[in-house]
Amino acid sequence: MAQKNYVSNSEESIRMFDNPLVEALSKVHFSVPLFIFIPLNSFLFYLGAKEGLLSIGSYILWIIAGLIVWTITEYVLHRFIFHYHPTSEFGKKIHFIFHGVHHDYPRDRLRLVMPPSVSIPLATLFFFLFKSIVAAPALYVFFGSFLTGYLIYDMFHYAIHHVELKGKLWNVLKTHHLKHHYNDPDKGFGVSSPIWDVIVGSNFDKGKLNH
């Protein structure tokens, strides 16, 4: 098990940047991604359907494919990018800005969903990546579903830390992610789904949550 690091339960945000504009761009209310991506995703689903070139079955399959690819992307980004531990001092600072701060302050309300300054450029890069592989109109359905998976991830992540919900499935997701924070940050990289942790073998052993 990884060494237990400092973890604060404060909901306040710590200051990370001297520049007030950069500091402001590093924070975001959880509702902001909803206002950006719900209209965008709806438009993408409309574009995929408006010409009538996809059958209903194909349309549904592309939606499923987008969600599956998102879960893989979420796992890979979290495990191999966000939890990559550089050795240089500059690399350590970059790591802290992108993910380390969340592990030190997991209840910081303004750093629980991805700010638009990061999510929009990333979404653009993924769009052009998928465009080189998938042709329109399937591209629009696939990418709309992919971004819907991202939106689910962002909302689930916020809710896990700040919303009391009931239900067996929800408890499984919440416990899974909180174990990642409070038991072992080198396991449990899935947030919206633990499926890839189970498949790849990075799931937790059975045990209580140390929280």
Entry pTM: 0.89
Residue 48 has pLDDT above 90, yes or no: yes
What does the domain layout of the chain look like in residue ranges?
30-158
Q: Estimate to the nearest angstrom the gap between the alpha carbon of 59 and the chain centroid.
A: 24
Q: Lowest-pLDDT range, 23-37, 91-105, 119-133, 190-204?
A: 91-105
Measured in degrees and rounded to the nearest 5, phi and psi for residue 125 equal -60, -45
Q: Is the dihedral of CA 205, 86, 110, 74 positive or negative?
A: negative
Both tokens assigned to 186: 């080198």
Give the closest residue to 190 by CA, choosing from 147, 152, 164: 152
Give the closest residue to 41 by CA, choosing from 127, 147, 121: 147
Write the pLDDT tens digit of every residue in 88-141: 887 777 777 777 777 778 778 787 888 898 899 999 999 999 999 999 999 999
Both tokens assigned to 159: 């809710």
Mean pLDDT computed over 130-154 = 97
pLDDT of residue 14: 76
Average pLDDT, the chain: 87
Write the pLDDT tens digit of every residue in 175-186: 899 899 888 889
Both tokens assigned to 27: 């924070």
Residue 2 has pLDDT above 60, yes or no: no
Q: Quote the DSSP letter at residue 98.
A: I
Residue 6 has pLDDT above 80, yes or no: no
Distances (CA, A) of 169 to 26, 78, 142, 158: 31, 21, 26, 16
- Report d(CA 65, CA 108) in Å as an integer: 33
